[in-house]
């Protein structure tokens, strides 16, 4: 049952009901009438009030899958181009003057020196050798029927029928069947019907005439050999070479003309075609 305020009951009527206590019959009638009014008012109100339409709740949206945004790769930074410093002008290099190779002066390991000692030892066994010992000086020419070993100093020409080995000093021409020179310097020509061998570190100022020759030292003069000539890698020759065959090893220096006059070939006839079969 609703309250009086909700029933919209006339307040004056209520005042009369609660103030007038004399007539019970009238009071009951008034109460009945009031109750009916209250019921009618409550019915009217209940009819006017309609339940609110049930509102549909919006469907719950599924949360979007958490997707992390793709990480953007940082743009490659172009490295600054390396700056090449400007080349400074280089001063022009002066060409070094051409120099002659260093001349070998060490005769201790000279193979010609060893060969000369061996030959003199063999000649000494035969008793046909003359030795000019170290510390001996001869001024003037000397000749011998046998072999000669010069360890001292001779100022003059030397002529002998046998072999000559010179490890000392000679100033003059030398004539022998074979000549072996392994000394610092010899001023004079060398002439032999056999071989002439000039060792490492030896300097000859004069011409060389022989049947064969081996040059490992230095010769300032012409070389005329009716046979084979070997100019070794340590040799220096300032002069012309005339031989039957010539072998110049790598490193040798030759300042002059080389000709094979004793090769037995007539070059003019060969190129003219007169001796071609």
Residues 156 and 244 both lie in one domain: yes
Residues 28 and 147 both lie in one domain: no
Residues 254 and 124 both lie in one domain: yes
Per the domain annotation, does 40 fall within a domain? yes
pTM above 0.85, yes or no: no
Per the domain annotation, does 229 fall within a domain? yes
- Percent of the chain topping pLDDT 70: 64
Per the domain annotation, does 86 fall within a domain? no
> How high does pLDDT run on average in the chain?
79
More confident residue, 34 or 271: 271
Residues 140 and 41 both lie in one domain: no
Per the domain annotation, does 33 fall within a domain? yes
Cα(168)–Cα(118) distance, integer angstroms: 17
Residues 36 and 118 both lie in one domain: no
- Domain that residue 21 falls in: 4-45
Per the domain annotation, does 214 fall within a domain? yes
Domain count, the chain: 2
Per the domain annotation, does 78 fall within a domain? no
More confident residue, 31 or 256: 256
Compute the radius of gyration of the chain from its Cα atoms: 70
Residues 137 and 237 both lie in one domain: yes
Per the domain annotation, does 50 fall within a domain? no
Residues 40 and 120 both lie in one domain: no
Q: Which residues have a Cβ under 8 Å from the Cβ of 61 and sit 6 or more positions away?
A: none
- Span 126-173, pLDDT tens digits: 878 999 999 999 999 999 999 999 999 999 999 999 999 999 999 999
Residues 37 and 136 both lie in one domain: no
* Nearest to 217, CA basis, from 243, 182, 248: 182
Cα(230)–Cα(212) distance, integer angstroms: 9
Residues 41 and 115 both lie in one domain: no
Q: Identify the pLDDT of residue 40.
A: 76
Residues 146 and 19 both lie in one domain: no
Residues 267 and 135 both lie in one domain: yes
- Span 217-245, pLDDT tens digits: 999 999 999 999 999 999 999 999 999 99
Q: Name the pLDDT band for 52 (thresholds 50, 70, 90).
A: very low
Cα(131)–Cα(124) distance, integer angstroms: 9
Tokens 């290099």 label which residue?
Answer: 93
Residues 38 and 139 both lie in one domain: no
Beta carbons of 154 and 174 less than 8 angstroms apart: no
């Amino acid at each position: 049952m609703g309250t009086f305020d909700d029933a919209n009951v006339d307040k004056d009527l209520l005042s009369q009901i609660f103030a007038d206590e004399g007539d019970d019959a009238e009071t009951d009638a008034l109460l009945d009438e009031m109750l009916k009014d209250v019921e009618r008012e409550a019915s009217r109100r209940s009819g006017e009030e309609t339940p609110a339409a049930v509102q549909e709740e919006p469907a719950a949206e599924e949360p979007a899958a958490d997707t992390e945004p793709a990480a953007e790769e940082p743009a490659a930074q172009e490295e600054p181009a390396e700056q090449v410093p400007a080349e400074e002008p280089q001063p022009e290099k002066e060409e070094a003057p051409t120099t002659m190779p260093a001349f070998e002066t060490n005769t201790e390991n000279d193979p010609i020196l060893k060969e000369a000692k061996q030959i003199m030892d063999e000649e000494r066994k035969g008793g046909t050798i003359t030795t000019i010992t170290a510390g001996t000086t001869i001024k003037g020419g000397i000749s011998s029927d046998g072999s000669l070993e010069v360890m001292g100093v001779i100022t003059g020409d030397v002529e002998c029928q046998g072999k000559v080995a010179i490890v000392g000093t000679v100033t003059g021409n030398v004539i022998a069947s074979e000549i072996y020179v392994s000394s610092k310097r010899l001023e004079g020509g060398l002439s032999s019907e056999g071989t002439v061998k000039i060792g490492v570190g030896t300097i000859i100022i004069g011409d060389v005439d022989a049947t064969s020759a081996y040059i490992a030292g230095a010769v300032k003069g012409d070389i005329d050999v009716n046979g084979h000539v070997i100019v070794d890698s340590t040799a220096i020759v300032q002069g012309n070479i005339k031989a039957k065959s010539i072998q110049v090893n790598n490193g040798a220096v030759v300042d002059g003309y080389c000709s094979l006059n004793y090769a037995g070939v007539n070059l003019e006839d060969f190129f003219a075609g007169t001796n071609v079969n």
